[in-house]
Structure 1
Amino acid sequence: MGLLSLLRKLRSTPDKEARILLLGLDNAGKTTILKQLASEDITTITPTAGFNIKSVAADGFKLNVWDIGGQWKIRPYWKNYFANTDILIYVIDCTDRKRLSETGSELFELLMDNRLKQVPLLVFANKQDLPDAMSSAEVAEKIELVRLQERTWQIQGCSAANNSGIKEGMDWICRNIKK
């Protein structure tokens, strides 16, 4: 069952709204994931110069997803979007081995902000469809996600290009919003 089929089965009036912040370095696949969630065409994706916002329905929730650009010049402004975040999604390009340390540092820096202290974290290990992609387990080990002992978190392998793994990540999000 595709994400579109799943969304069609949901009630038209959600019980609750949730604010989701979608972050990661440039070219990680954030906007492609957002467009997949909204069942939009992904053939033409351009770098996000500011932010994109989409609302999607999932499991009785209205999820307001904020996709913020990941270029290094934009990253200092990420903190302006932290307030009232219910779930943080962080997207990692699993083929970009050169910037794995940089993306891990960025992730842990933003997790130190008090406004995100209690916020559950979903890491999408993206581009799993490519032959040179690191596995989710390898990414988790290399950026030391096990250090997150005081936080609810999950790493989910996915391919934004072919929409695999995204539904599983969204299911995890909905379970954690209900808690």
Structure 2
Amino acid sequence: MYTLMHGFYKYMTQKDDYCVVILGLDNAGKTTYLEAAKTTFTRNYKGLNPSKITTTVGLNIGTIDVQGVRLNFWDLGGQQELQSLWDKYYQESHGVIYVIDSNDRERMEESKMIFDKMIKNELLSGVPLLILANKQDLPDVMGVREIKPVFQQAGALIGRRDCLTIPVSALHGEGVDEGIKWLVEAIKRHAVVRPPAGERLGHQEKTRAHQPSTGFN
């Protein structure tokens, strides 16, 4: 009886799992944004002291529960030598967060170049995209009206996917709530094409099981 009730409870409380990659140049504020998201949506979570956050070398991970789903974040290092590893995560991703340092005018063109390379990858076709103009708490930064046209030059590559560009301050948590909630709704809409992690794996296994044998082992 306990096993039955426990199984029913687990079924009723389980959440759909989705994976989100956080991309952008090094020092754009990706890890600070991830910490802000965890602080915003996870009760009693005490985020890292911003002064203790260092440049990501490899991968940071984080998880939040929001609006009935579970988001698993992969915060990937933005150094040039690490960008070649990004596409290893694309196939399993349900959403992309691209973080821009609004205060770094000198590297804006570089950021656009790697954005274009990322968005044209077929493994991310149709995947919802949240573009963050970060560091809006600093004076004299580029605003969304100035940044948006630069990245909209890749409009043909972005296609008809759900896409939103918003101003944020990851340091102060401003704009985090709005962006994450929008992304969740966009990911849910796209779930018909790219279902939750567990369901997607099951679908792939069923597909392989029904594929005709080639006669080779």
Shift of residue 108 of structure 1? Answer: 1.2
Give CA-to-partner distance per residue, 1:18-43, whole Å, 9 cap, x none. 10000000000000011111221233
Instruction: State the secondary structure of the residue aligned to 1:123.
Output: strand
Q: 2:102 pairs with 94, 106, 116, which one?
A: 94
Q: Which residue of 2 aligns with 1:56?
A: 64
The answer on whether the counterparts of 2:116 and 2:154 sit within 8 Å (CA) in structure 1 is no
Q: 2:173 pairs with 147, 163, 176, which one?
A: 163
Flag the structure with higher strand content.
Answer: 1
CA RMSD of superposed structures (Å):
1.5
Flag the structure with higher helix content.
Answer: 2
* Number of positions where the alignment pairs a residue of Structure 1 with one of Structure 2: 168
Q: Which residue of 1 aligns with 2:49?
A: 42
Instruction: State the secondary structure of the residue aligned to 2:170.
Output: coil
Percent of matched pairs sharing the same residue: 36
Instruction: State the secondary structure of the residue aligned to 2:182.
Output: helix
Give CA-to-partner distance per residue, 1:78-136, whole Å, 9 cap, x none. 11111121000000000111111111111111111111011010001100000121111
Q: Which residue of 2 aligns with 1:20?
A: 20
Query: Which runs of 5 or more structure 2 residues have no equivalent in the other structure?
Result: 1-11, 40-46, 190-217
Q: How does 1:126-145 map to 2 (within 5 A)?
A: 126-144=134-152
Q: Which residue of 2 aligns with 1:9?
A: none
Pick the structure with greater CA Rg. 2
Q: TM-score, normalised by structure 2?
A: 0.74
In structure 2, relative to structure 1, the CA distance for the partners of 1:100 and 1:14 (3 Å cut) is farther
Shift of residue 165 of structure 1? Answer: 0.5
Q: Which residue of 2 aligns with 1:106?
A: 114
In structure 2, how many angstroms separate the alpha carbons of the residues matched to 1:47 and 1:65?
17
Q: TM-score, normalised by structure 1?
A: 0.89
Q: 2:126 pairs with 107, 118, 124, which one?
A: 118
In structure 1, how many angstroms separate the alpha carbons of the residues matched to 2:83 and 2:106?
18
Q: Which amino acid aligns with 1:177?
A: I
The answer on whether the counterparts of 1:36 and 1:42 sit within 8 Å (CA) in structure 2 is no
The answer on whether the counterparts of 1:87 and 1:119 sit within 8 Å (CA) in structure 2 is yes
